[in-house]
Amino acid sequence: MRHIISIGDFDRKEIDHLLDHAGQIDKRKYDENALRGKILAVLFFEPSTRTRMSFESAMARLGGTSVSVGSVEACSIAKGETLADTVRVVSGYADAIVIRHPKEGAARLAAEFATVPVINAGDGAGQHPSQTLLDLYTIRESMPIDGIDIALVGDLRYGRTAHSLAFALSLYNARLHTISPKGLELPVNLAAGLKERGMEIIEHDDISEVIDAVDVLYVTRIQRERFPDSASYFNVSSNYRITPELLTRAKKHLIVLHPLPRLDEIDPRVDKSSHARYFEQSGNGVPVRMAMLMQVLQ
Ligand code: NCD
């Protein structure tokens, strides 16, 4: 039984293989009945549009079915049931579980109690491996990932997509440029681990310092829901904004990615620019998650 909890569960060869498979799926080369009769339990204890809907459409495209509870309030978690018990019970109703939870480590805990494979769809400020796979897939559509210069912009402390992506990029000899508000830098232990793996990480105060040097700009939302108080949120918001004016200095092939939802980090005028790839990126969630579901369910 194979769980997908952290991007660190994959080695480079496995990631490349999965992305190749997603590429085949993108070309409509897949069996529409591959997961006929299989059921995916969707346990989302945090808001989601893209991750949840793309897992559900991935399942449907492969002939499978998804089941879910409407919300936390609508299930027995609201009565005080533990996550461990919920997961044990749900294992009896489905062939795999995809879980999103506000607490870091929740997906790992779920995997300990589940008797079916568990996929982590985001655990607090921890990891978001399926997002990383679609991020890598999107980069690969524009350029080879090996050796890229990538700037991670925004909330690198609480942003789980940035954590997983940074880790994965250490397998591709990428050079990481980080630009974040004070106090929202990449967690020290994560940065230390990446450096130990040979990754070069360069901190910058301003995006304009690196805009002409990077191949990928990965922009993230300030994770307001993870802030201890609203005052500290207001101190950091709205400082890190991508505009068409800023992009005039970018390399021609630079791509702008964002896991979405965006608030005001990317000026809507950027949407029309040849650099913008964030909507394609979210669309790539379906083929990538189809490949993931086939891996755990077949
Ligand atoms: C991200 C998440 O949930 O971590 N969203 C997503 O899955 N595409 C990013 C975010 O919420 O800012």
Q: Summarize the confidence of residues 154-182 as an average pLDDT.
A: 97
Share of residues in the chain with pLDDT > 90 (%): 87
Share of residues in the chain with pLDDT > 70 (%): 98
Q: Summarize the confidence of residues 87-115 as an average pLDDT.
A: 97
pLDDT above 80 (res 122): yes
Tell me the CA end-to-end span of the chain in Å, nearest whole number: 10
Q: Summarize the confidence of residues 42-66 as an average pLDDT.
A: 96
pLDDT above 80 (res 107): yes
Residue of the CA atom closest to atom 7 of ligand 1: 51
- Using the mean position of ligand 1's atoms as its centre, give its distance from the Cα of residue 154 in Å: 13
So what's the pLDDT on residue 236?
A: 67
Indicate the Cα dihedral angle 18, 15, 223, 79, nearest 10°. 60
Mean pLDDT, the chain, integer: 95
Residue of the CA atom closest to atom 11 of ligand 1: 261
- Using the mean position of ligand 1's atoms as its centre, give its distance from the Cα of residue 281 in Å: 12
So what's the pLDDT on residue 39?
A: 98
> Residues lining ligand 1, judged by CB closer than 6 Å?
50-51, 122, 128, 131, 160-161, 221, 259-260
Residue of the CA atom closest to atom 1 of ligand 1: 259
- Using the mean position of ligand 1's atoms as its centre, give its distance from the Cα of residue 134 in Å: 12
Q: What is the 3-state secondary structure (H, E, C) of 14-50?
A: HHHHHHHHHHHHHCCCCCCCCCCCCEEEEEECCCCCH
Atom of ligand 1 nearest to the CA of 161: 4
Kindly report, residue by residue over 274-286, the tens digit of the pLDDT.
Answer: 999 999 999 999 9
To the question of pTM greater than 0.85 for the whole model, the response is yes
- Using the mean position of ligand 1's atoms as its centre, give its distance from the Cα of residue 47 in Å: 9
Atom of ligand 1 nearest to the CA of 221: 12
Atom of ligand 1 nearest to the CA of 220: 12
- Which positions ≥6 away from 278 have C-beta within 8 Å? 256, 257, 258, 260, 262, 266
